[in-house]
Structure 1
Amino acid sequence: MRLRRADCFDPKGERFGIPTFPWRCAPDGYATRRQLRAAGLRPGGQQVAAQCLRPRRRRDPLTAYLYRIDRAKPVRPMTPARRAALERANAARRQCPGCGRDAGYVIPASLGTCVPCAYPEGTSDGIAA
C-alpha cells in the first residue's frame, strides 16, 4: 500500500476503520503501549482506539497503535511470587546447557551455550583466544 503523508490523516476512520493520524501528530488523550507503560498504565483490555501511520518507500507504512489514556488502568504491582518467578526465569537463561554453570550473563541464542563451551581453547576455528 503506497501512502503519502496526506493519506494518513483520517480522524473519522472512514478509510482505515479507525481514526488515523500522521506520525507524531496524535491528539491529546491517546498513547502507545510504551507511553502508557512509562506513565505507569496499561491498556487494560481496551481495543485499539486509533493509529498513527508513517509512509515508507518500497515497504508497508509504519504503524503505531494508540489507546485511550482515560480508559487505561494502572500497572499491576509486582508480587513476591511474580518476582521469584522472574528471578528463576532469568537464572535459567544464564545457565549453560553444555557445562551446567551459571555463565553470569544471558546465553546468546546464536551460540546456545556459554562462550567457553562454544569456542573451546585449542580448536582451529579461526578465533583468537
Structure 2
Amino acid sequence: MFRTEFDDPEGIRHGGLPTFNYRCAPVGLYTRRQLAAEGLTPGRQPIAGQIFWRRGNRVAYLYRRDLAVPKRPATDAQLRALMKAWVALSTCPSCQTEYGYYIPKRYGECLACFEGGTR
C-alpha cells in the first residue's frame, strides 16, 4: 500500500531527523499548516521530524503539538495595513473601479479596460 522508501523513524538515513512517508507521521506531530488550522504556531521549538513525498522532491517539517503556542492576534495597525493593501491591489488604475479580486499584474488594469474599455 504505502512505499517505505523514506521511512526512517530513527533518523539514521535522512539528516538525523526522524523521517516518514506521506500520510504516515505519528500522532502528535503536525505540519505548520495543521498547527495554523488549530490556531497554533510552532513557536521556537526545534523541528521534530519530516515527511518526504514525490520521490523525495518535497519535504514538510513536523513539530510537536504539545509544545506549540497560540498564535498572536493581529494588531489594529496590521489589520488597517492589510485592508489598505487590499484596496490598492483590487482597484483598477485606469477606471478607478474597485473589484472583489486582485487586478491581474500581467495586464496592469482590470479585464474590461484591458480588452478596450477605457484604453
Fold shared by both chains (TM-score > 0.5): yes
User: Partners of 1:112 and 1:46 in 2: how far apart?
Assistant: 42
Q: CA RMSD in A?
A: 2.3
SS at match of 2:4: helix
Distance 1:97 1:45, change over 3 A: farther
**C-alpha offsets along residues 53-81 of structure 1, whole Å, 9 cap, x if unaligned?**
2244xxx4332221111221101113222
Per-residue deviation at 1:93? 0.8
User: Partners of 1:55 and 1:104 in 2: how far apart?
Assistant: 36
Q: In structure 1, what is the equivalent of residue 41 of structure 2?
A: 42
User: Partners of 2:92 and 2:46 in 1: how far apart?
Assistant: 41
Distance 1:109 1:46, change over 3 A: farther
Question: 1:1-129 residue pairs with structure 2 within 5 A?
Answer: 5-17=3-15, 18-56=17-55, 60-121=56-117
Number of aligned pairs? 117
Give the alignment's TM-score, normalised by structure 2.
Answer: 0.83
Structure 2: which 5+ runs fail to align? none
Q: Which amino acid is the alignment partner of residue 51 of structure 2?
A: C
* Percent identity for Structure 1 against Structure 2: 47
User: Partners of 1:104 and 1:9 in 2: how far apart?
Assistant: 45
